[in-house]
Amino acid sequence: MQIKILGGHGGVSQGFQTTSFLIDNHLLIDAGSVASTLSIQSQAQVDHILISHAHLDHIKDLAFICDNCFGMRALPFEVYGHKTVLNLIMKHLFNDSIWPDFSKIPSLDNPTIRLTSIEPEKPMRVGPYTVTPVKVQHPNDALGYILESAQTCIVFTLDTGPTEKIWEIAKSKKNLKAIFTEVSFPNHLQKVANLSDHHTPQTLAQEISKMPKDVPIILTHFKPNFKEQLRIEIEALNESRLTLLESDGMVFHF
């Protein structure tokens, strides 16, 4: 399984893109930067898009991938998320005011995007993968995803504060190769992290004790203005299985 981090930060600035993970060129987890980082031809190769939650840094490029690719594909982009999340996307993005409603462009019979609501903890088939959505600690029915292929299992929490269920389910999975999770704010902003349901290095340290053991952990979603302070505080944890996202565009093979 190839995982390319198109964007892995919790904000936008020069050299920093927001969350989009591309799996084997055809499955996208969140759409914060897919149109900003891929050619239009590569965008058109995406078939399935899993959305974790409706915050702008995770959905904004849904608007632009639809605008770039309408009429190019025989089938619509299949977008999956909790019904709360999908309702927010349609109400506030594809509402014909902020952006055209691409669920009926070019036509109702041939849309650019098709949205499907999914239920937490109910595995589903998405292309060649089994996907288990799991609620995490973040606003408006946010989901993490456990992605399984024939020989590989990967956990993606996406945005979350301290959470429980996804670790309970992950411990039951075979062939778990990696965990992608977040840390957003330095320790001195713990109150901000608590209010916004994000991690600091000190809450991440507690979270690691809940995770399946001996599995590599890749950290993303650093706020750009705090990245260097986060690096110092994460390195101070002295946890050998942690890998920090050095830059957007990193590729992992499992």
pLDDT tens digits for range 9-59: 999 999 999 999 999 999 999 999 999 999 999 999 999 999 999 999 999
Asked if residue 199 lies in contact with residue 207, where contact means CB atoms within 8 angstroms, the answer is yes
Q: Kindly state the tokens that stand for 236.
A: 């101070």
Q: What average pLDDT score do residues 117-133 get?
A: 98
Pseudo-torsion of CA 97, 102, 104, 110, nearest 10°?
Answer: 170
pLDDT of residue 239: 95
Any alpha helices (H) in the chain, and if so which ranges?
A: 34-37, 40-43, 56-69, 83-92, 165-170, 190-196, 201-208, 227-235
Homologous superfamily in CATH for domain 2-253: Ribonuclease Z/Hydroxyacylglutathione hydrolase-like (3.60.15.10)
**What does the alpha-carbon distance between residue 58 and residue 55 come to, in Å, rounded to a whole number?**
6
**What does the alpha-carbon distance between residue 254 and residue 177 come to, in Å, rounded to a whole number?**
7
Res. 136 pLDDT band, cuts 50 70 90: very high
3-state secondary structure of 134: strand
Q: Is the dihedral of CA 34, 39, 44, 45 positive or negative?
A: negative
3-state secondary structure of 67: helix
* CA nearest neighbour of 81 among 11, 169, 142, 10: 142
Neighbour tally for 188: CB within 10 Å: 11
Q: Where are the domains of the chain?
A: 2-253
pLDDT of residue 52: 98
Asked if residue 31 lies in contact with residue 58, where contact means CB atoms within 8 angstroms, the answer is yes
Please tell me the least confidently modeled range out of 24-28, 41-45, 70-74, 83-87.
70-74
Q: What average pLDDT score do residues 70-89 get?
A: 97
111 DSSP assignment: B
124 DSSP β-pair partners: 131
Mean pLDDT of the chain: 97
pLDDT digits (tens, 9 = 90+) for 160-216: 999 999 999 999 999 999 999 999 999 999 999 999 999 999 999 999 999 999 999
Share of the chain above pLDDT 90, in %: 99
pLDDT of residue 251: 97
Q: What average pLDDT score do residues 74-96 get?
A: 98
